[in-house]
A and B are shown apart, each in its own frame.
Chain A
Amino acid sequence: MIPVTLACPPALMDDAADLAACFGTGPADARTFEDAPLYPGPGGVAYAAPSGLVTQAVLDRVAQPPQRPDWDEQPYSVNLTGAGRAYAALTVWSGDGPVPQAAPDRIVAVVGLPPVAALTAMGLAR
């Protein structure tokens, strides 16, 4: 299992929920950011920063644009357009170069660092 920590600004929370639903394993993963702790960071806003362990299969899915999850049947609950916007705003760091700073217009995912180190590297204060 691989540690992942994310930082999502307030402006992207709704779209991020759709993105998490696409990359997760079930409908409850749409709550990934909603249930996450908030940390102040760059731009003077609070970032939702969930962290946890994921499989390589999840990371492989993230390498491709989001698709409607198997469980989402009509009437659809996942907004694929919103998920696409969140995906376009997603920056994934997995060891190469400096860790991207959290920003009000992007979602940052830090792969492979312990949560505390990831939060600090993204510029979030605990």
Chain B
Amino acid sequence: MVALAVAIAGGQPRRRWSPAALGLSYWPGGYAEAGRVFQDSAGTTAGAVGSPVGLVLGAESGTGLGPELVTNGGFDADLSGWTNGAGATSARATAIFPDGGIRVTSTGGTATHALQSVSGLSAGARYRLTARALTPPENTLTDRAVLGVQVSAYTSAGSVSQQETGAVGNLTLYPAPASGTLGVYLSVVRADFSQWGAVGNIAHFDNVSLRRYASRAAAQSTSLSRPTLRETAGGVRYLEDDGGDSLPVTLPAGDYHVAWVSEAGAVTFEESAVAVTTTLDTLRGTTQADVVVRGSAFTADEQAKLTAYWQGRYA
């Protein structure tokens, strides 16, 4: 947890020190937290020891979410806010989601989806997109319910699908829009994302939600430039750079100070500030268990506290 833990000492509540107190620009809080480490840069596949790491959500400003940005994601009364792609029709339905959901049916051709364009976003910020979805097992050709943000809506890089189990599943991804607008696509497409949905195939969705993630995120979209998640015999999870890997975070231009710790507890405060134009590589060591990035230098007292914090965890 990022929140400061409370310890009881001498009858008085005493807050345990956390790096969050340093006013950081980025801090992953280590790499062990489930739900914050992902194999791909879109955040569709949870991190796993021995697998590449493409996205690490930060914790420097907490792990909360901003207000809801999707209009009528619950389909409580109608489909207002949603439009159909050229190759789909949609209808409000209660058979799968009793309080109302959207049923997207392919009519063939391209753009077999329902769409909502969400504007007013911050380019480079990280958002969490979720939905409940069901793929009817009757669908042919492995066509599935797919939640995505890509214009074409059927690429694996920015989409996640629900398998044909006939059960409702929760779909999640963490897009970072390049502009202030993001398309949310509720699609029926082929399981391997290679084709639009065939005529008559269906996808059900409900509870579509897009909310801004509170902290920054470090991401690597080039597959072979991703570090690997490793774990020590003692259970410490860390990143390993096998050569040429990086995990950049987008920051406002300026000079930043960086400190990091190895999985063995060796702490490094980098002597020189890093001049950032748009991104800073958060992968600083060949093996690294945590890192902090801040727009001002660390005082001696802060260095001592951070060192003690990390050595208490990793040394």
Contact = CB atoms under 8 A, between A and B. Distances in A.
Given A26-B157, A28-B41, A71-B157, A54 B223 contact: yes
A50 B244 contact: yes
Contacts of A24: 222-223
Contacts of A50: 224-225, 244
Interface residues of A, number: 28
B137 to A, nearest CB: 24
A26 B221 contact: yes
Interface string B145-159: 000001010111110
Contacts of B154: 70
A54 B156 CA distance: 15
B177 to A, nearest CB: 15
B223 to A, nearest CB: 5
Contact of A53 (B52, B155, B222): B52
Interface stretch (A31-39, A88-96, A100-108): A31-39
Contacts, number: 83
B244 A29 contact: no
Given A24-B223, A28-B41, A32-B222, A53 B228 contact: yes
A65 interface: no
Interface residues of B, number: 26
Contact of A32 (B156, B224, B242): B224
Contact of B193 (A31, A52, A70, A119): A70
A6 B223 CA distance: 13
A52 B155 contact: no
B243 A32 contact: no
Contacts of B52: 1, 52-53
Interface in B241-273: 242-246
Interface of B: 40-41, 50-52, 150, 152, 154-158, 193-194, 221-226, 228, 242-246
Given A52-B225, A115-B243, A119-B243, 18 more contacts: A1-B51, A1-B52, A26-B157, A27-B157, A32-B222, A35-B246, A36-B224, A36-B225, A37-B243, A50-B244, A51-B244, A52-B224, A53-B51, A54-B223, A54-B224, A70-B152, A70-B154, A71-B152
